[in-house]
Amino acid sequence: MAALDGKVIVVVGGTTGLGLSAACALIGKGARVVVVGRKADSASAAQTELGDSGCALIGDAADPDTAAKAIAKAESRYRGFHGLYHVAGGSGRRFGDGPAHRLTAQGIRTTLMLNLESLMLSNQAAIARFLDLKQRGTILNMGSVLGFSPSPEHFGTHAYAAAKAGIIGFSRSAAAYYAPMNIRINVVAPGLVETPMARRAAEDEEILSFISNKQPLDGGRIGRVEDLDEAAVYFLSDASSFVTGQVLAVDGGWSVSEGRSQTGMSD
């Protein structure tokens, strides 16, 4: 029996990148999946990749109705709803995110909306539905190592870091509150992963040199979207039924490494 047989999962931000890779992995483990993304072309491409075991919808995670509509679709199409994976988020750099002394009001608002407010809305919808159904459920939220392990030289976007730290605080507080109802909430925190949002970093030779030491696992590389798939499977399956309020860094060693040149290092 596969780890997710009979489970129906909603992935908010699931039509591209990390979310789509996870959705495919969840289906591979027996789940039925509804994914949501903002762009029609991405949703169409995702639908082709997911096949009959998945359904792709168009919706903005910042819209308070998006997650609820996706959950309703999961129940009408697949006759259930057991878990939510919130992946949606993004950089606010072009809106004015940056170091604290250069932050703009729009940069703050937009970055928090993209990364924290949208997540709180989707979690609220999932929790409300689990409570209505009087059933256990699981939520996995996408964080970032920047929420607890900063990189001042190369990743000085402080509103983004605040949003990702906020995800941890929100998730742990909600996990504590809803644990007696058997609603589990956890966070996966990646390091630098090769996604469209990370293109700036992935094309910067100085940052790549930094990453070769900051993420030293597997030869010192940028993460791949599939590196997070098994963590998603674990947290969204019954294998983690006794786990809640946890933050798992899937970061290639980022959070335990200095990221400096190894020249001259000694024991």
Given CA atoms 150, 169, 94, 19 in this order, what sign does their dihedral have? positive
For the chain, what's the residue count? Answer: 267
Q: pLDDT (tens digit, 9 = 90+) per residue, 43-81?
A: 999 999 999 999 999 999 999 999 999 999 999 999 999
The partner residues of 186 in beta bridges, in order of sequence, read: 140
Q: pLDDT (tens digit, 9 = 90+) per residue, 136-193?
A: 999 999 999 999 999 999 999 999 999 999 999 999 999 999 999 999 999 999 999 9
For each of the domains in the chain, give its residue range(s) and CATH number, in order of start: 8-250 (3.40.50.720)
Report the C-alpha gap between 15 and 255 in whole angstroms: 28
CA angle 160, 163, 167 (to 5 degrees): 140
- CB of 14 closer than 8 Å to CB of 37: yes
Of 92, 84, 83, 96, whose CA–CA distance to 120 is shortest? 84
How confident is the model at residue 196, as a pLDDT? 74
- CB of 258 closer than 8 Å to CB of 214: yes
The partner residues of 60 in beta bridges, in order of sequence, read: none
Q: pLDDT (tens digit, 9 = 90+) per residue, 103-132?
A: 999 999 999 999 999 999 999 999 999 999
Contacts of 148 (CB under 8 A, 6+ apart): 165, 168, 189, 247, 255
Of 147, 31, 18, 43, whose CA–CA distance to 82 is shortest? 31
- The residue from 78, 85, 160, 234 that is catalytic is 160
**Chain centre distance of CA 143:** 6
**Chain centre distance of CA 190:** 8
Report the C-alpha gap between 79 and 183 in whole angstroms: 19
Burial class, 152, CB count within 10 angstroms (exposed 0-12 / middle 13-18 / buried 19+): exposed
Residue 160 designated active-site:
yes
- CB of 60 closer than 8 Å to CB of 35: no
Q: Decide if pLDDT at 202 tops 90.
A: no
How confident is the model at residue 262, as a pLDDT? 45
Report the C-alpha gap between 93 and 158 in whole angstroms: 10
223, two tokens: 């993460």
How confident is the model at residue 225, as a pLDDT? 96
How confident is the model at residue 260, as a pLDDT? 66
Of 10, 172, 181, whose CA–CA distance to 86 is shortest? 10
How confident is the model at residue 29, as a pLDDT? 98
Lowest mean pLDDT among 98-107, 178-187, 251-260: 251-260
